[in-house]
Chain A
Amino acid sequence: MTDSDNKASPLPSAPLSSPGPRHHDMGGQGMKDAGPVDQVEHDYAPWEKRVDAIMRLVSDRKRKLMTVDELRRGIEDLGPGAYEDYSYYERWISSITNVLIEKGVLKIDELGRRMEDVRARWEQAK
């Protein structure tokens, strides 16, 4: 039996993810590549605090539009590429936006339009 005989199989042709922990699940994983902890810190930029504030508001007792678990699931769904390439709050705002779109709170087209507006305004202000 060759691989091509499996075409009709209802099972996915490849596992959705390789066995073992997913990329975000870092405890004890990839120890041989792990180096010293870079004890760097930066003062959070205004836009980063804004992301944090948005998350706290949409997840607070009053609104309950999303939970911390959903934030994390959204971050994990970004996949290994974006997870490594994006900074911390870049991952957050990407996840918040995706989850709010999933839930119908935001619509993709209105977000696209608003981003164009913001971009134009900021370009002008330069």
Chain B
Amino acid sequence: MTAPHDDHDHGHDHGDEDWPYPHPKQPDLEDGPVSEHMIMTEAVAELLIDKDIFSAGELREMLESIDSKSPAEGARMVARAWTDPDFKARMLDDVNAAAEEIGIDAGTIPIRVMENTALVHNVIVCTLCSCYPRLLIGLPPDWYKSRNYRTRMVREPRAVLAEFGTEISDDVEVRVHDSTADLRYMVLPMRPDGADGLDEDSLAALVTRDSMIGVSVLKPDNQK
């Protein structure tokens, strides 16, 4: 496998054709009213560039890197774990190191993967703020950061999961993992039935972001 984005030829304009969620577009800066916080952001960026803390080019590269992170990276790890038990063992031991093996930079903050089984369903939350394995599955969705999700997931996870259309049978234990600034989690979803004979890329295409958060499970006929 080559480095994660060597094979990207799209323009990083959020061209994620495989992004399975509706995305209401926000207006560009010029289109809407300018807020104090937007002005502050621009002023801080300019001052840090003037002070040689970072260059304009480094800021641009970082923006491109943020845009290039998508659930596809996490999905690639999940598909590899499904097809390679040794890789799965290493991933369960150390996600960041396992990511590096296949050319994915998962950053320096430890990420732990929680494996779903026929007996245990895992789901992640950050009750304090919004910690999330963003280097593997992109920026968190708004609802992950919302008060209701953060408040209720640790208290009534089955009810919250049901709102996402995910009914967990009573004989399956639900484990909720609360992330922090020092430790993040991702979920290793169960491989859907009927996905036998698919190669790793086709398997990766079945893996959704929400299944790696744990608010959904992969269905046999999952067409994203």
- Measured CB to CB, the residues of A under 8 A from B are 24-31, 34-47, 49-54, 56-58, 61, 63, 65, 67-69, 71-72, 75, 86-90, 93-94, 96-97, 100, 105-106, 110-111, 114-115, 117-119, 122, 125
- Measured CB to CB, the residues of B under 8 A from A are 14, 21-30, 34-48, 51, 53-54, 58-59, 62-63, 66-67, 108-109, 125, 127-131, 139, 141-143, 145-156, 160, 163-164, 178, 181-182
CB-based nearest A residue for B62:
A53
On whether the beta carbons of A24 and B44 are closer than 8 Å, the reply is no
On whether the beta carbons of A27 and B151 are closer than 8 Å, the reply is yes
Q: Which residues of B contact A90 (CB under 8 A)?
A: 35, 37
On whether the beta carbons of A41 and B152 are closer than 8 Å, the reply is no
On whether the beta carbons of B130 and A88 are closer than 8 Å, the reply is yes
On whether the beta carbons of B43 and A115 are closer than 8 Å, the reply is yes
Q: Report the Cα distance A113→B152, complex, angstroms.
A: 44
On whether the beta carbons of A34 and B148 are closer than 8 Å, the reply is yes
Q: Which residues of B contact A46 (CB under 8 A)?
A: 28-29
Q: Which residues of A contact B24 (CB under 8 A)?
A: 41-43
On whether the beta carbons of B43 and A30 are closer than 8 Å, the reply is no
Residue among A68, A71, A93 making CB contact with B41, cutoff 8 Å? A93
CB-based nearest B residue for A121:
B42
Residue among A30, A37, A105 making CB contact with B149, cutoff 8 Å? A37
On whether the beta carbons of B26 and A42 are closer than 8 Å, the reply is yes
Tell me how far the C-beta of A75 lies from the nearest C-beta in chain B, rounded to whole angstroms. 7
Query: Known: A50-B63, A68-B181, A72-B128. Contact between A114 and B34, CB under 8 A?
Result: no
Tell me how far the C-beta of A76 lies from the nearest C-beta in chain B, rounded to whole angstroms. 8
CB-based nearest B residue for A27:
B127
Residue among A29, A43, A75, A111 making CB contact with B44, cutoff 8 Å? A111
Tell me how far the C-beta of A23 lies from the nearest C-beta in chain B, rounded to whole angstroms. 10
Residue among A49, A57, A67, A100 making CB contact with B67, cutoff 8 Å? A49
On whether the beta carbons of A93 and B34 are closer than 8 Å, the reply is no
Q: Report the Cα distance A42→B34, complex, angstroms.
A: 18
On whether the beta carbons of A37 and B152 are closer than 8 Å, the reply is yes
Q: Which residues of B contact A93 (CB under 8 A)?
A: 37, 40-41, 44
On whether the beta carbons of A57 and B41 are closer than 8 Å, the reply is no
